Structure 1
């Protein structure tokens, strides 16, 4: 692949078995017309958010909820090895009557049932666009030192019936054209830093985009397994179904 050397070493297997393509950043989105500004997750303990804050599923079962939990945990003083602060935060949110376990859909957002949503930036961008057409000002933000990321990966099956076609497709995905398509959709493409340097990034998108600042919060497969097990053992007995 021509762009191989531009992919950060931390985002690819050294032998080429897999390689990252894009990620979202975990964020909080909300109806700014109804709730005003949100500066921190502690703001969500306010009674005005009664029954409307959605983690987007159970963190041991849903990817967005898992990563939303890690963001909240980080902001509460934890890290991927210290998970209790996040649970303490969501316990307070539940006791305040603000946490809802409703699964987030476009319908729950449209109706206002989920007025605050933990989700990936690329999903928030979609909500913002759809709601703008309905006259709703949907805002979303990430938080410094708690920008949780989880890259999707590309790979070619060793038994692919048409491996040359697969390789050609992979070449396209790592062109500026394809990477900018992900960027315009609200994601952070893996070649973003390289594209900034060589001037191929879409400048109009870059102007307003939420991008990774500094070192993001990430985790290994082993971390994911361990964290999921911890959440399975602790979420339901503390928060409930």
Structure 2
């Protein structure tokens, strides 16, 4: 599947030359400088999200002298930016070096001066529409919104957002995040609105809020932040989340209980996440080395093992470097052919509508 039409970017030769100063070191020089710093501080990277377990492992195998300091694995995108703001003058272990946030949060962080530019050595193979032309943020992976369903408790598996309004799903449906702060949950609300025919952006955000108001009013919505534990325990038998998280949960639970993953028939919303380096990173060279690892063939394939489509996916496939068994393990390509990639303007408009309207429209306080 191609990533096109969802984000407009114009890259001039002058801008590329200016930003190119951010990648002056050779990889060996960068590794030496990073090892001298001795630490990399990450935030909001659960090891079962996108196979970050494998990403961390392969990074440590290559650079054993760099200690990984993992902050708040379950932080939201908004909390990641707040962690940078709160630690601008702090070079201690609570200051993140790198962030992995929803698409809308990349330009916001740039506008606030919270991130710094860096172009990885594989920069040219990242689609132009998926990166900031000056190198401040760059797409890392994408997936589509789906339902993870505990089929021990749900006999009639819902196939669409419209199905979720059936009374048989009373006390069953949850989001995998707080829609006032979590990118995943914010876009789940937009997906619900798009399923009702609204255009991506503010209209879909507002329509999605109405959908969740109905879901909440009828008692189908469970106001807790759902995950693999709540799904397995039966607290939230139906979880709306990215397909890669749902598929990883299915594999982790290994049939206990059985989990079915559904891409809803009434909408296929794709979501892109982006990487960036904190402008106040205590370990800037380790941060750059981390980015080199993430955007190498090896790092991209590790994400793919976690069912996330890495941003360099087309390049990897065209060069024949993706193991066939890994391609065979992915969901059918047809599930992604109708995916809609919202523009950054649409993502921002939806975020504003959802974050500002959730409490007044839906009125459900989503908690851990």
- Indicate the residue corresponding to 1:68 in structure 2: 188
Q: Would the aligned equivalents of 2:186 and 2:355 in 1 still touch at CA under 8 Å?
A: no
- Indicate the residue corresponding to 2:298 in structure 1: 177
- Indicate the residue corresponding to 1:213 in structure 2: 337
- Indicate the residue corresponding to 2:64 in structure 1: none
Q: Would the aligned equivalents of 2:206 and 2:353 in 1 still touch at CA under 8 Å?
A: no
Give ranges in structure 1 of 5+ residues lacking alignment: none
Q: Against the structure 1 CA distance between its residues 162 and 227, is the aligned structure 2 distance closer, same or farther, given a 3 Å change threshold?
A: closer
Map residues 28-177 of structure 1 onto 2, 5 A cutoff.
Answer: 28-33=147-152, 34-78=154-198, 79-82=200-203, 83-134=205-256, 136-143=257-264, 146-155=268-277, 163=285, 166-177=287-298
- Indicate the residue corresponding to 1:230 in structure 2: 353
Q: Would the aligned equivalents of 2:189 and 2:354 in 1 still touch at CA under 8 Å?
A: no
Q: Against the structure 1 CA distance between its residues 194 and 225, is the aligned structure 2 distance closer, same or farther, given a 3 Å change threshold?
A: closer
Post-superposition CA distance 1:183-225 (Å, at most 9, x none): 11121110111112111123222223246435533342x6555
Aligned residue for 1:218, secondary structure, equals coil
TM-score (norm 2): 0.58
- Indicate the residue corresponding to 1:240 in structure 2: 363
Say which of 117, 122, 132 aligns to 1:3.
Answer: 122
- Indicate the residue corresponding to 1:15 in structure 2: 134
Q: 1 CA distance for matches of 2:261 and 2:173?
A: 13
User: By how many angstroms is 1:53 displaced?
Assistant: 0.2
- Indicate the residue corresponding to 2:92 in structure 1: none
Q: 2 CA distance for matches of 1:159 and 1:32?
A: 45
Over the residues paired in the alignment, what is the CA RMSD in angstroms? Answer: 2.7
Q: Would the aligned equivalents of 1:57 and 1:101 in 2 still touch at CA under 8 Å?
A: no
Say which of 307, 314, 318 aligns to 1:197.
Answer: 318
Post-superposition CA distance 1:56-93 (Å, at most 9, x none): 34422222211111111111111213133212322232
Aligned residue for 2:132, secondary structure, equals coil
Q: Would the aligned equivalents of 1:51 and 1:100 in 2 still touch at CA under 8 Å?
A: yes
User: By how many angstroms is 1:4 displaced?
Assistant: 1.7
Q: 1 CA distance for matches of 2:179 and 2:289?
A: 37
Give ranges in structure 2 of 5+ residues lacking alignment: 1-119
Q: 1 CA distance for matches of 2:176 and 2:346?
A: 21
Aligned residue for 1:150, secondary structure, equals strand
Q: 1 CA distance for matches of 2:172 and 2:290?
A: 42
Structure number, greater radius of gyration? 2
Q: Would the aligned equivalents of 1:24 and 1:151 in 2 still touch at CA under 8 Å?
A: no
Q: Against the structure 1 CA distance between its residues 46 and 158, is the aligned structure 2 distance closer, same or farther, given a 3 Å change threshold?
A: closer
Asked if residue 24 in structure 1 is aligned to residue 146 in structure 2, the reply is no
Q: 1 CA distance for matches of 2:133 and 2:214?
A: 43
Tell me the matched-pair count. 238
